[in-house]
């Protein structure tokens, strides 16, 4: 399973770090992603990372502001969010790639419950 934490209320321009703990599978064998969902809206892929952590990928909307990373010794995925904007307000889900260590080759087979990030003054 996957369990996210770290969400909360932050002012525009502020920072927040999300965490996602994995269990029940060999964490370093799988690519991971963050997917967000603004209130009442659809799903938006945010970022992905390879199983080793050596490759990272971002949506244009967050490139240069967000950083994805992982600590395989702790089976934990992170999302460092800087320069937050109102439009970053969303539930953030972490999701496991179903195939293996390279992202984008398969669907997301396991999702966390999500953590809410609210950017507001």
Partner 1 sequence: EIVMTQSPATLSVSPGERATLSCRASQSISSDLAWYQQKPGQAPRLLIFDASTRATGIPARFSGTGSGTEFTLTISSLQSEDFAVYYCQQYNNWPPLTFGGGTKVEIK
Residue closer to partner 1 by CB (options 15, 109) is 109
* Binding-site size, partner 1 (CB under 8 A): 23
48 lines the binding site for partner 1 (CB under 8 A):
yes
Considering the complex, state which of residue 42 and residue 54 has its C-beta at the smaller distance from partner 1: 42
Q: Does 25 interact with partner 1 (rule: CB under 8 A)?
A: no
> Would you count residue 39 as binding partner 1 (CB under 8 A)?
no
Residues 51-110, interacting with partner 1 (CB under 8 A) = 57-60, 93, 98, 104-109
Closest CA to 71 of 20, 2, 13: 20
| Cβ contacts of 51 within 8 Å, gap of 6 or more | 28, 29, 30, 31, 72, 100, 101, 102
Q: Which long-range contacts (CB under 8 A, 24 or more apart) does 104-113 make?
A: 104/31, 104/48, 104/57, 108/33, 108/35, 110/1, 110/2, 110/25, 111/2, 111/35, 112/1, 112/2, 112/3, 112/4, 112/20, 113/2, 113/3, 113/4
Q: Which of 3, 25, 114, 118 binds partner 1 (CB under 8 A)?
A: 114
Q: Which is nearer to partner 1, 13 or 98 (CB)?
A: 98
Quick check: 3 binds partner 1 (CB under 8 A)?
A: no
Residues found near partner 1 in the complex (CB under 8 A): 33, 35, 42-45, 48, 57-60, 93, 98, 104-109, 111-114
């Amino acid at each position: 399973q996957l369990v996210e934490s770290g969400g909360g209320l932050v002012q525009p321009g502020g920072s927040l770090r999300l965490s996602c703990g994995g269990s029940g599978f060999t964490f370093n064998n799988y690519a991971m992603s963050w997917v967000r969902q603004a209130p009442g809206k659809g799903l938006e892929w945010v970022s992905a990372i390879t199983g080793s952590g050596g490759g990272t990928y971002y949506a244009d909307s967050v490139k240069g502001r967000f950083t994805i990373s992982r600590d395989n010794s702790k089976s934990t995925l992170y999302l460092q969010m800087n320069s937050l904007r109102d439009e970053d307000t969303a539930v953030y889900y972490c999701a496991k790639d179903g195939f293996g260590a390279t992202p984008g080759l398969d669907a997301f087979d396991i999702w966390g419950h999500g953590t809410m990030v609210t950017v507001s003054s």
